[in-house]
């Protein structure tokens, strides 16, 4: 150390130097600057990066349209704050109380806060430093990943690490057009947050999205090209070799405590600056640490989540301004959406408390997993895990440590709306319940902001209390608190549109807008998300069925199945379901289906909707299969889309001695009329030739049952997780009136339903219910029947087969390759075995799905 004496106290403000400009350091400066009314501190921030602080938690948004500016944290304004970008601390002299920066500047301090964060851990594997090996931590890393993906020659990427960051990296690879492989040493994904059951379901669900998961296996080495030194493959301990030239290491982090070590500050057993419960260094009273570089005595470890980092920043800010705050302990609860899958973990999720009991609800059909950890007397909630449906998280997490409001199983059991009971909702929580863990905001504080300060919506609550501005997982609870306080809430589609889906439909209809980019530019904000993009894509398709769903930017709006015009199955193959209107098929066409299945080695099955499913097609095989089928007169059955699937029929009066009407003829007519009709959710129908109901018409979105006088029309039924019988809309209709009424029913549903709302739920949500629907579409009470008729006529006139649209367009055909540099090469990760004389997916490795929740009810 230098022998220079400590700087003398000055008459002006004391000098605070913050080393690091990440989220925790930024929060500290904000807190001190906003509360330091006397101007007692002058703050200098030393930033390693050349850009201002940004939200590292939201890095993945960069692959879905976000840019650097949208990720930036609020600017640190004020005369007493100086931010030195690109000039990190290089040395610390504790005796002289100075910091020397990389540029050579020597800055005195009265208090020093280390907020240097952590660095990615790259395992010391052979080849791990080769070109093509990357990490996933900063915006610079994001740009490097983009460049690597653009230059890849194999179409695959490997992520080493199956935790939070690893799955985010896998999603980034997927959004960049690569097939990701995730390698995790633990037996299941997210082993720190999830148990075996939750991790297994998560593995199955991400596999359904095209991610290959390798769990319970170590990465042996990165294979490099002898000539170039670049990565060309990854070899695993079980002998698996994955060809790739993009490898992302997301196997954990290590605290960046080099400055502290060199300055003689004590560090924790596993690294990190050792600090007390005030976040002050146990070695030097003038040095503090916050965020991932701090090893708090009460925790005995560093903490890698944003909420503890913010809590540390608040603690230090309070201490610097004369307070006596203590770090309250780490809340490691988290709620995320990983590759579209809801995941939440809170409290003692892994049941480490002695005597803890576990209550588990595992529903593989609905693809949901819930576990609550309770005390040995079953009276206190200790923690929990939610996978697939995390809607109960905002209500369950605040109950941790408190008395259970009801039977634990009831908190996980689905309610009539399809969600979870969660003990009666947010209204039942005490005012002391912490709703926002990132900023330690209680229900009482939120209620005061509503009643005392007039906050009338979520943005106002965010601005007033900061709740919801961290990870965002508490936003649903904010809405419920507003509703409980009697404040009417917006039904906006998402954060990018203030309109509902129905309002957006009307905007598109009125303006003639035909692209998402124009709609969001003129009537929304930002670049959209995985909520609004598919919803708007469906609106555009329902308004313009003559334009192919993969044309132009529409292709990028679609969900996975729509993007490939086929249902992805659990092993990465696809199913092909040609339309068989009404279940009626000629022998010649039946033979064609058999020949196609035989020639392409496909598994065949008759579906519940009277069609034939051909499963096991590789992506590059789909166009060849479609060509054979379309040449024989088949077309897409839209088993992949939010569209009409089937119109099921019995044999009716043509064959059945009880039949009173031609159910097959009507079913064929209706299926051909509504084929390709895009809607908020899938549509199924049935036509029964008599009251014996062999076509099960009353379990469908619209069902028709023959009578001696004509047809009875039923609407609003569905199967699935919450079955519901359709209700009688009109009786003894003649043919023309029946078709006109169905036209209007479907057009009105498409025009007014919410995103992903089945007809059953939509009908229940209509004010006035069935009577209102009858008045609108039969009595024209709203004066819109002419518009509804015109919309359906336009659809019928403009219909085009989506499979043929791909076959006739070379640009669309180029999408259907497993590997961009070898279009005909089959994916070696796909394997089959034989059961009952048919090909089925080969042995399922640990972490591979056993059932596709989306594909389980697609036909």
Sorted by where each starts, the structural domains of the chain and their CATH numbers stand as 14-119+255-320 (3.50.50.60), 122-250 (3.50.50.60), 333-424 (3.30.390.30), 425-489 (1.10.10.1100), 501-562 (no CATH), 565-636+802-849 (3.30.70), 643-800 (3.30.413.10)
pLDDT tens per residue across span 500-521: 888 999 999 889 999 998 999 9
User: Could you tell me whether strands 711-715 and 727-733 are parallel, antiparallel, or unpaired per DSSP bridges?
Assistant: antiparallel
- The span from the CA of 550 to the CA of 805, in Å, is 9
Beta bridge partners of 414: 420
The rounded percent of the chain whose pLDDT value lies above 90 is 52
- The span from the CA of 608 to the CA of 459, in Å, is 46
At residue 257, the 3 state secondary structure works out as coil
- The span from the CA of 82 to the CA of 304, in Å, is 27
Range of weakest confidence among 340-349, 622-631, 659-668, 740-749: 340-349
**Residue with tokens 């490939």, as numbered in its chain:** 564
Range of weakest confidence among 45-59, 478-492, 510-524: 478-492
Using CA atoms, how far residue 265 sits from 100, 257, 648, in Å, is 17, 9, 74
316 versus 403: which is more confidently predicted? 316
User: Could you tell me whether strands 219-224 and 231-236 are parallel, antiparallel, or unpaired per DSSP bridges?
Assistant: antiparallel
φ, ψ at 241 (rounded to 5°): -125, 125
372 versus 366: which is more confidently predicted? 372
At residue 770, the 3 state secondary structure works out as helix
Structure tokens belonging to residue 740: 């006109």
Whether this prediction's pTM lies above 0.85 is answered by no
Check residue 591 and give its pLDDT: 94
The mean pLDDT of 119-136, rounded to a whole number, is 94
DSSP assigned state of 678: B
431 versus 7: which is more confidently predicted? 431
**Residue with tokens 């598994």, as numbered in its chain:** 603
Range of weakest confidence among 225-239, 248-262, 379-393, 569-583: 569-583
Q: Check whether 842 has a pLDDT greater than 50.
A: yes
The mean pLDDT of 630-635, rounded to a whole number, is 95
Q: Provide the mean pLDDT of the chain.
A: 86
Query: With the CA atoms of 477, 29, 24 and 481 taken in that order, what torsion angle do they form, in degrees rounded to the nearest 10?
Result: 0
pLDDT tens per residue across span 30-39: 999 888 888 8
pLDDT tens per residue across span 153-202: 888 999 999 998 899 899 889 888 889 999 999 999 999 889 999 999 99
- The span from the CA of 461 to the CA of 490, in Å, is 14
- The span from the CA of 859 to the CA of 857, in Å, is 6
Ranked by mean pLDDT, the top range of 123-132, 433-442, 754-763, 821-830 is: 123-132
pLDDT tens per residue across span 289-332: 999 999 998 778 888 888 889 999 999 999 999 999 998 887 77
What region, left, alpha or beta, does residue 686 occupy, with left being phi > 0 and alpha being psi -120 to 50 degrees? beta
51 versus 570: which is more confidently predicted? 51
Q: Check whether 28 has a pLDDT greater than 90.
A: yes
- The span from the CA of 57 to the CA of 198, in Å, is 22
Beta-carbon contacts of residue 563 (< 8 Å; ≥ 6 apart): 550, 555, 815
Check residue 5 and give its pLDDT: 40
**Contacts of 173-177 spanning 24+ positions with Cβ under 8 A:** 173/145, 173/149, 173/246, 173/248, 174/209, 174/210, 174/211, 174/339, 175/63, 175/64, 176/63, 176/145, 176/146, 176/149, 176/150, 177/149
Check residue 426 and give its pLDDT: 67
Q: Check whether 476 has a pLDDT greater than 80.
A: no
φ, ψ at 759 (rounded to 5°): -60, -30
Range of weakest confidence among 85-99, 308-322, 475-489: 475-489
Q: Which helix (H) or strand (E) holds 198?
A: helix 196-208
Q: Check whether 457 has a pLDDT greater than 70.
A: yes
Q: What is the layout of strands, in order, in the sheet containing 106-108?
A: 89-93, 98-101, 106-108
- The span from the CA of 395 to the CA of 423, in Å, is 8
Question: DSSP of 566-619, one letter per residue?
Answer: SEE-TTS-EEE-B--GGG---HHHHHHHHHHHHHHT-EEEE-TTS-EEEEEE-G
Check residue 827 and give its pLDDT: 63
Query: With the CA atoms of 487, 488, 491 and 495 taken in that order, what torsion angle do they form, in degrees rounded to the nearest 10?
Result: -30
The mean pLDDT of 441-468, rounded to a whole number, is 84
Structure tokens belonging to residue 721: 């997780």
The mean pLDDT of 75-96, rounded to a whole number, is 91
The mean pLDDT of 347-353, rounded to a whole number, is 90
Check residue 1 and give its pLDDT: 35
At residue 249, the 3 state secondary structure works out as strand
- The span from the CA of 647 to the CA of 475, in Å, is 40
Using CA atoms, how far residue 743 sits from 177, 222, 642, 734, 777, in Å, is 39, 59, 17, 14, 9
Using CA atoms, how far residue 680 sits from 492, 539, 544, 677, in Å, is 15, 8, 15, 10
- The span from the CA of 597 to the CA of 604, in Å, is 7
Using CA atoms, how far residue 831 sits from 159, 215, 218, 570, 820, in Å, is 22, 18, 22, 12, 21
Check residue 598 and give its pLDDT: 92
Check residue 109 and give its pLDDT: 96
CB-based burial, 618-648: b 16+ in 10 Å, e otherwise: bbbbbbebbebbbebebbbbbbbbbbbbbbb
Mark out the alpha helices in 392-523 (DSSP H runs): 393-396, 408-412, 443-453, 458-465, 475-484, 501-511, 516-523
Check residue 657 and give its pLDDT: 85
CB neighbours of residue 756 within 10 Å: 15
Q: By the 8 A CB rule, do 641 and 682 touch?
A: yes
With bands split at pLDDT 50, 70 and 90, how would you rate the model's confidence at 858?
very low
Check residue 845 and give its pLDDT: 41
Check residue 710 and give its pLDDT: 95
Beta-carbon contacts of residue 585 (< 8 Å; ≥ 6 apart): none
Give the CA angle between residues 268, 270, 272 to the nearest 5°: 50
Check residue 552 and give its pLDDT: 80
Q: Check whether 606 has a pLDDT greater than 60.
A: yes
Q: Which helix (H) or strand (E) holds 727?
A: strand 727-733
- The span from the CA of 242 to the CA of 199, in Å, is 23
253 versus 411: which is more confidently predicted? 253
608 versus 356: which is more confidently predicted? 356
Q: Check whether 140 has a pLDDT greater than 60.
A: yes
Beta bridge partners of 267: 273
CB-based burial, 399-409: b 16+ in 10 Å, e otherwise: bbeeebbeebe
The mean pLDDT of 766-787, rounded to a whole number, is 93
At residue 18, the 3 state secondary structure works out as strand
pLDDT tens per residue across span 59-75: 887 876 677 887 888 88
Q: Sign of torsion, CA 263 264 265 268? A: positive
- The span from the CA of 437 to the CA of 120, in Å, is 25
Largest pairwise CA distance in the chain:
107
Give the CA angle between residues 582, 588, 592 to the nearest 5°: 90
Q: Check whether 17 has a pLDDT greater than 70.
A: yes
Give the CA angle between residues 611, 758, 710 to the nearest 5°: 65
Structure tokens belonging to residue 444: 């009482």
pLDDT tens per residue across span 217-267: 999 999 999 999 999 999 999 999 999 999 999 998 999 999 999 999 999
Q: Which helix (H) or strand (E) holds 158?
A: strand 156-160
């Amino acid at each position: 150390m230098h022998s220079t004496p400590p700087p003398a106290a000055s008459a002006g403000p004391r000098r605070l130097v913050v080393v690091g400009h990440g989220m925790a350091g930024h929060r500290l400066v904000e807190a001190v600057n906003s509360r330091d009314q006397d101007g007692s501190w002058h703050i200098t921030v030393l930033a390693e990066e050349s850009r201002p602080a940004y939200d590292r938690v939201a890095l993945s948004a960069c692959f879905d349209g976000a840019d650097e500016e949208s990720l930036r944290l609020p600017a640190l304004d004020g005369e007493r704050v100086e931010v030195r970008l690109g000039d990190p601390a290089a040395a610390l002299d504790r005796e002289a109380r100075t910091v020397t920066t990389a540029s050579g500047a020597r800055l005195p301090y009265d208090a020093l806060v280390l907020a240097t964060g952590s660095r990615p851990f790259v395992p010391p594997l052979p080849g791990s430093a080769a070109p093509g090996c990357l990490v996933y931590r900063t915006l610079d890393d994001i740009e490097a990943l983009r460049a690597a993906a653009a230059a890849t020659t194999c179409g695959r990427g490997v992520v080493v690490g199956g935790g939070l960051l690893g799955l985010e990296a896998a999603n980034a690879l997927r959004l960049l057009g690569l097939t990701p492989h995730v390698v995790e040493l633990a037996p299941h994904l997210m082993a720190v947050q999830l148990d075996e059951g939750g991790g297994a379901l998560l593995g199955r669900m991400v596999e359904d999205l095209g991610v290959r998961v390798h769990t319970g296996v170590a990465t042996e080495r990165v294979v490099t090209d002898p000539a170039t030194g670049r990565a060309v493959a990854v070899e695993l301990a079980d002998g698996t070799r994955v060809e790739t030239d993009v490898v992302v290491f997301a196997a954990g982090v290590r605290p960046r405590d080099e400055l502290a070590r060199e300055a003689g500050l004590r560090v924790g057993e596993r690294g990190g600056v050792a600090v007390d419960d005030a976040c002050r260094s146990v070695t030097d009273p003038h040095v503090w640490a916050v965020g991932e570089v701090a090893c708090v005595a009460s925790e005995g470890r560093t903490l890698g989540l944003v909420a503890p980092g913010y809590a540390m920043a608040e603690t230090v800010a309070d201490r610097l301004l004369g307070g006596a705050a203590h770090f309250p302990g780490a809340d490691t609860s988290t709620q995320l959406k990983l590759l579209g899958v809801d995941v939440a973990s809170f409290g003692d999720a892994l049941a480490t408390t002695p005597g803890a009991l576990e209550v588990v609800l595992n529903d593989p059909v609905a693809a949901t997993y819930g576990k609550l950890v309770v005390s040995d007397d079953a009276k206190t909630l200790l923690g929990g895990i939610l996978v697939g449906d995390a809607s109960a998280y905002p209500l369950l997490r605040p109950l941790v440590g408190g008395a259970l409001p009801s039977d634990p199983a009831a908190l996980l059991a689905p309610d009539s709306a399809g969600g979870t009971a969660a003990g009666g909702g947010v209204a039942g929580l005490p005012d002391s319940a912490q709703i926002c863990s990132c900023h330690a905001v209680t229900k009482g504080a939120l209620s005061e902001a509503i009643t005392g300060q007039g906050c009338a919506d979520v943005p106002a609550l965010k601005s007033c209390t900061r709740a919801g501005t961290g990870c965002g997982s508490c936003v649903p609870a904010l809405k419920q608190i507003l509703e409980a306080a009697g404040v009417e809430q917006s039904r906006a589609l998402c954060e990018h549109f203030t309109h509902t889906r129905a309002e957006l439909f009307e905007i598109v209809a009125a303006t003639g807008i035909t692209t998402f980019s124009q709609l969001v530019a003129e009537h929304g904000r930002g670049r959209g998300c995985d909520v609004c993009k598919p919803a708007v894509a469906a609106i555009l398709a329902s308004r313009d069925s003559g334009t192919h769903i993969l044309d132009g930017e529409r292709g990028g709006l679609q969900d996975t199945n729509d993007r490939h015009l086929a249902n992805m199955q659990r092993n990465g193959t696809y199913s092909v379901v040609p339309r068989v209107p009404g279940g009626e098929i000629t022998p010649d066409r039946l033979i064609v289906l058999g020949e196609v299945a035989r020639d392409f080695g496909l598994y065949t099955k008759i579906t519940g909707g009277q069609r034939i499913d051909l499963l096991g097609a590789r992506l590059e095989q789909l166009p060849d299969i479609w060509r054979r089928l379309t040449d024989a007169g088949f077309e897409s059955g839209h088993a992949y889309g939010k569209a009409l699937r089937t119109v099921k029929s019995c044999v009716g009066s043509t064959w059945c001695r009880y039949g009173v009407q031609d159910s097959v003829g009507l079913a064929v007519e209706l299926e051909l009329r509504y084929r390709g009709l895009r809607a908020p959710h899938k549509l199924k129908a049935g036509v029964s030739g008599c009251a014996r109901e062999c076509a099960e018409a009353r379990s469908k979105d619209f069902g028709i049952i023959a009578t001696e006088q004509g047809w009875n029309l039923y609407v609003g039924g569905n199967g699935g997780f919450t079955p519901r019988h359709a209700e009688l809309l009109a009786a003894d209709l003649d043919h023309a009136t029946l078709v006109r009424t169905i036209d209007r029913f479907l057009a009105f549903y498409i025009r007014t339903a919410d995103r992903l709302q089945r007809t059953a739920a939509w009908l229940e949500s209509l004010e006035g219910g069935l009577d209102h629907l009858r008045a609108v579409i039969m009595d024209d009470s709203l004066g819109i029947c002419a518009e509804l008729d015109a919309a359906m006529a336009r659809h019928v006139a403009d219909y085009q087969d989506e499979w043929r649209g791909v076959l006739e367009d070379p640009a669309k055909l180029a999408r259907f390759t497993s590997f961009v540099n070898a279009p005909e090469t089959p994916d070696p990760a796909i394997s089959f075995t034989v059961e009952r004389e048919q090909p089925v997916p080969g042995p399922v490795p640990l972490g591979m799905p056993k059932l596709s929740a989306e594909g389980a009810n697609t036909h």
